[in-house]
Amino acid sequence: MGKNLKVAGIAVGFTLYFTYVFLFSVLGSYLAYTYFSLPLIYISGPPMQWLIIGSVPLFITFGMYLFKNCERWEITGFFSGFILWLFVLLALSVVEFQLDDYGLYPALAGLLVMAGFYYLFKDRWCKK
């Protein structure tokens, strides 16, 4: 029974993720151009890649959390790493550091930051 709930949580997480991507990219662009004639927030390059790629572990973990197959510290660890790396990418974009030349490496580095925060929170909250 536990394995079925875990698979269901992962499926719900992917469903939430694809809903997020649809709402974020398609509807957000459509509404911004239709009603305001300009994009409200224009994010491109590595920060945009990170908003799409980096949110995968968040949604999968959240889906598993809904079915009680993970704990709150797991979501907190992933979310902390996600937000920190988003701020790093936005700061580098503001100072016009050319991250576009590196392809998907900034996103992969962000996933490593998320994994680091995951294990940091695991060590902090799961001491026996």
End-to-end CA distance of the chain: 27
Six token digits for residue 55: 């949110």
pTM of the model: 0.75
Residue 5, amino acid = L
Extents of the domains making up the chain: 2-125
Whether 38 contacts 82, CB under 8 Å: no
Quickly list DSSP for 14-39.
Answer: HHHHHHHHIIIIIIHHHHHHHHHSS-
Which token pair is 119? 């294990």
Q: What is the pLDDT along the chain (128 residues), one digit of tens a residue?
A: 567 778 888 888 889 898 888 887 776 666 656 655 555 555 667 777 888 888 888 888 888 887 776 777 777 888 888 888 888 888 887 787 777 677 778 888 888 888 888 888 877 776 65
